[in-house]
Structure 1
Amino acid sequence: MNAEIITIGDEILIGQIVDTNSQFIGQQLNKIGVSVYQITSIQDDKQHILNALKEAEQRVDIVIITGGLGPTKDDITKKTIAAYFNDDKLIEYPEVIKHIKEMFIKVNHPFNDVQRYQAQLPSKATLLENKLGTAPGMWFYENGTVFVSLPGVPYEMKGLITDQVLPRIQKQFKLPFILHKTIMTYGQGESMIAERIEGFENNLPPYIKLAYLPSFGKVRLRLSAKGDNKEILEKELNDKVAEVYQLIPEIITGIDDDNSLEKRVGELLKIKNKTIATAESLTGGQIAANLVSVAGSSAYYKGSFVTYSAESKINLLEVSKETIDRFSVVSREVALEMAKGVKDKLQTNYAIAVTGNAGPTTDLTDKTVGIVYIALVSDSEQVVQEFNFGQPREKVINRTVNKALEMLLKEII
């Protein structure tokens, strides 16, 4: 069972907004056994919409459209859909008018003809009640293909997908099971991991696929299985995960995205009843943001100092001015004093500090762009490592965050 997602709106094409709708819809369809064949973004243009609908109908079983259902003149989706279905007519749905009026009474907003237009839908449409907004969703079944039109507002679309669209799809079609297991790794690149597990990958059965999902400092290995027997698929996936654990045990942090570096760090700190603080320069608080993104992090994370300037390093962390003058702010010595300073001030068991040149300029240092120093101080050890993360700026910052957490994880273990 294949689906295509069509997003409508010039704001997507010019980069004014990021298309998160397709991501959510794709995830939810996959959970119920529907594979997304293609995602298409098009203009608010009648002919473009007609062409996209025709092409999608030839490719897939389910077409899901988001956007273009507002009350203003530039929102032309439902008129175009009506034209696509043999010039269907728009008719007024009294239940939609009733719903909109009830919503507007709550916020003391007048009901007018602009809102009345929202209640006009193609006569062939099955109404999908939008409890969170004024634009209803629409369901069509024509020539063996399901067409679903949803508002583009993300929280409205999500409500309709969850409450109405997915249950209808599951009722109408016999769906296979699509299961995933994602193995989280750190510390080695995609090509090195691929070489180490080449034999494993070559021997996978045709209904199990392996995908490499690299990002800064880490690679996710996603195993996907598709079939009609859920119990058998789950067992085979678990067996394959166990095989990968035997091949690359030292670089695996856990299973699925919930087992991120920061979550694994937090779990270990809780188990050991230890605490951590951070001092950041080039990363501007991103290490702290990662750590506190984990629920319950207040049990072990005590705080951060973002000391971007030399003055703040001196005044807040008591880094020696003589150290900065002698070695510059991007140095092993300054990173170590930053880590000691934050550990002392917040009285923690561990402290991480980072300083470096993210670029594009090197300011007042003698170090090239990409040079980063990460210091880790614990109750029993002091470590400072130098890295060259290259360019551009975003890459340097993200790799610094991941490497700092990786060093911390190793030290705690």
Structure 2
Amino acid sequence: MLAEIITIGDEILIGQIVDTNSAWMAKQLNAAGIKVKQITSVSDDADHIIEALGQAEKRADIILMTGGLGPTKDDITKYTLAKYFNMGIRRDPEVLAHVEEIFRRFNRPMIESNNKQADVPDGCTVIQNKNGTAPCMWFEHNGTIFVSMPGVPFEMMYLMDDEIIPRLKEKFELPFIYHKTILTANLGESFLAQQIEEIEDSLPPSIKLAYLPKLGQVRLRLSTSGADEAKLKADVEVFVQRIIAKIKPYIVAEDDIAIEKAILNIMDEKRLTLSTAESCTGGYIAQLITQHAGCSSVFAGGAVAYSYELKESVLGVKAETLAKYGAVSEQTVKEMASGAIINFKTDYSVAVSGIAGPDGGTVDKPVGTVWIAVANKNGVVAKLFNFGSKRAQNIERSAIAALTMILNLLKEDNN
């Protein structure tokens, strides 16, 4: 069973908003046993939408659309769908009553454009949108299902979870799709592929292996599908264990999680605490950590100390260290990490100081020079990195390198 997602709106194509709807929908469809064939974004133009629908109908069994269902003139999706299916437009009384109730609840007057929210193509099945005024519309045409939903994420998510996915499961006998992900670090994609080449070559046609690289990490995803869930999982697990045995030093987690979440899981299990001392990353490491629920059991907090004064007063870096070696140095970053352990009273800490760019570099310390230190109560280790000239990438690379160093120290301590 193949699906295609079409997102509608000029705001997506000019980069004004990021299309998060497609990624979320694809994940839900995959979990339900429906493979996404293609994702397409089109402008608020009737001809473009019709062309996209025609192409999608050739490829997919299910076509899911979001966007273009508001009360303004640029919201043309339902009129375009009526044209595509050669249908008239009717005003649905249940939708109209729903819209009127929403306006009554918020004590707001209705105008004609609001009444038009209840206008739908004649031949569609209307699905009420309990979280908004624009209804969801379901069409069946030449054996293909078309579903048009609002582009507002929380409205679309409710409709997918409570209405669309259950209807699709009821209509089709869907297979079970299974993914198993292994998170690795400290080994590049090509070297990783070389290490597990023999295992990859022995995979049966029913199991696919994908490499998903991202700045110092590579996720390995094994995927399969079929009717027997238990057998699928058992078949994949055989190869998972072979891969783990082959590259054990580089394994971060046997799950599809971020590296900081893997660190939190390990530290939480061992009742360890962590603090951060950041300069050039500006709190980005702390942000990565605190996006995960339950992080407070591990993460005590940290400092963003750009100036010499804050490095001294908050982290206890010596004035003579800064004067002699500068902020971006092994000596300074070690004192930052040690100061975080002492002042924040944690078991582990990580400190980063560097030149993110695009300016501020020197001959001795060019843009992209970053010192990172990790510490525990037994000592502190530091490492020099030389990244590129792009500020955003330097910050992200520094954060991932810092998290990898924490993970490595945790592994060493547990060996």
TM-score (norm 1): 0.96
Q: Quick one: which amino acid aligns to residue 323 of structure 2?
A: D
Alpha-carbon spacing, 1:365–1:324, altered in 2? closer, same or farther (3 Å): farther
Task: Write the distance in 1 (CA, Å) between the matches of 2:40 and 2:276.
Answer: 43
Q: Which residue does the alignment assign to 1:266? A: 264
Say whether 1:183 aligns with 2:182. yes
Q: Which residue does the alignment assign to 2:95? A: 96
Q: Percent identity?
A: 48
Q: Which residue does the alignment assign to 1:328? A: 326
Which stretch of the first structure deviates more once superposed, 384-393 or 368-377?
384-393
Say whether 1:156 aligns with 2:155. yes
Q: Which residue does the alignment assign to 2:71? A: 71
Say whether 1:303 aligns with 2:305. no
| Pairwise CA distance, 1:318 | 2.9
Q: Deviations over 1:330-366 (max 9, x none)?
A: 1001101111222221122222111011221235783
SS at match of 1:39: strand
| Pairwise CA distance, 1:98 | 1.2
Task: Write the distance in 2 (CA, Å) between the matches of 1:407 and 1:266.
Answer: 14
SS at match of 1:243: helix
Q: Quick one: which amino acid aligns to residue 177 of structure 2?
A: I
Task: Write the distance in 2 (CA, Å) between the matches of 1:350 and 1:287.
Answer: 14
Q: Quick one: which amino acid aligns to residue 205 of structure 1?
A: P
Task: Write the distance in 2 (CA, Å) between the matches of 1:330 and 1:397.
Answer: 14
Q: Deviations over 1:295-350 (max 9, x none)?
A: 22222221111012233223322322222221111100110111122222112222
CA contact (8 A) 1:279 1:342 kept: yes
Which stretch of the first structure deviates more once superposed, 300-309 or 104-113?
104-113
Aligned 1:380-399 pairs, distance under 5 A: 380-399=378-397
CA contact (8 A) 1:281 1:354 kept: yes
Q: Which residue does the alignment assign to 1:318? A: 316
Q: Which residue does the alignment assign to 1:34? A: 34
Q: Which residue does the alignment assign to 1:213? A: 212
CA contact (8 A) 1:209 1:224 kept: yes
SS at match of 2:44: coil
Alpha-carbon spacing, 1:178–1:391, altered in 2? closer, same or farther (3 Å): farther
Task: Write the distance in 2 (CA, Å) between the matches of 1:72 and 1:409.
Answer: 52
Say whether 1:276 aligns with 2:270. no
| Pairwise CA distance, 1:236 | 0.8
Which stretch of the first structure deviates more once superposed, 304-313 or 364-373?
364-373
Runs ≥4 residues deviating over 4 A: none
Q: Deviations over 1:19-61 (max 9, x none)?
A: 0111111111111111111111111111111111111111111
Task: Write the distance in 2 (CA, Å) between the matches of 1:261 and 1:53.
Answer: 40
CA contact (8 A) 2:180 2:256 kept: no
SS at match of 2:158: helix
Q: Quick one: which amino acid aligns to residue 210 of structure 2?
A: A
Aligned 1:133-152 pairs, distance under 5 A: 133-152=132-151
| Pairwise CA distance, 1:278 | 0.9
Which stretch of the first structure deviates more once superposed, 136-145 or 373-382?
373-382
CA contact (8 A) 2:275 2:348 kept: yes
Task: Write the distance in 1 (CA, Å) between the matches of 2:265 and 2:81.
Answer: 51
Aligned 1:241-260 pairs, distance under 5 A: 241-258=240-257, 260=258
The answer for unaligned runs of 5 or more in structure 2 is none
Which stretch of the first structure deviates more once superposed, 30-39 or 138-147?
30-39
Task: Write the distance in 1 (CA, Å) between the matches of 2:109 and 2:363.
Answer: 62
CA contact (8 A) 2:273 2:298 kept: yes
Say whether 1:194 aligns with 2:226. no
Task: Write the distance in 2 (CA, Å) between the matches of 1:271 and 1:78.
Answer: 52
CA RMSD of aligned residues (A): 1.5
The answer for unaligned runs of 5 or more in structure 1 is none
- Choose from 265, 277, 287 the match for 1:289: 287
CA contact (8 A) 1:328 1:365 kept: no
Task: Write the distance in 1 (CA, Å) between the matches of 2:309 and 2:201.
Answer: 56
Task: Write the distance in 2 (CA, Å) between the matches of 1:41 and 1:273.
Answer: 46
Task: Write the distance in 2 (CA, Å) between the matches of 1:339 and 1:135.
Answer: 53
How many residue pairs get aligned? The number is 411
CA contact (8 A) 2:374 2:406 kept: yes
CA contact (8 A) 2:267 2:298 kept: yes
Say whether 1:23 aligns with 2:23. yes
| Pairwise CA distance, 1:252 | 1.0
CA contact (8 A) 2:67 2:152 kept: yes
Q: Quick one: which amino acid aligns to residue 373 of structure 2?
A: A
CA contact (8 A) 2:361 2:367 kept: no
SS at match of 2:343: helix
CA contact (8 A) 1:317 1:342 kept: yes
TM-score (norm 2): 0.96
Q: Deviations over 1:388-413 (max 9, x none)?
A: 12342222211211121221122223
| Pairwise CA distance, 1:280 | 0.2
Q: Quick one: which amino acid aligns to residue 203 of structure 2?
A: L
| Pairwise CA distance, 1:267 | 2.6
Task: Write the distance in 1 (CA, Å) between the matches of 2:139 and 2:255.
Answer: 36
CA contact (8 A) 1:330 1:365 kept: no
Task: Write the distance in 2 (CA, Å) between the matches of 1:91 and 1:367.
Answer: 69
Q: Quick one: which amino acid aligns to residue 127 of structure 2?
A: L
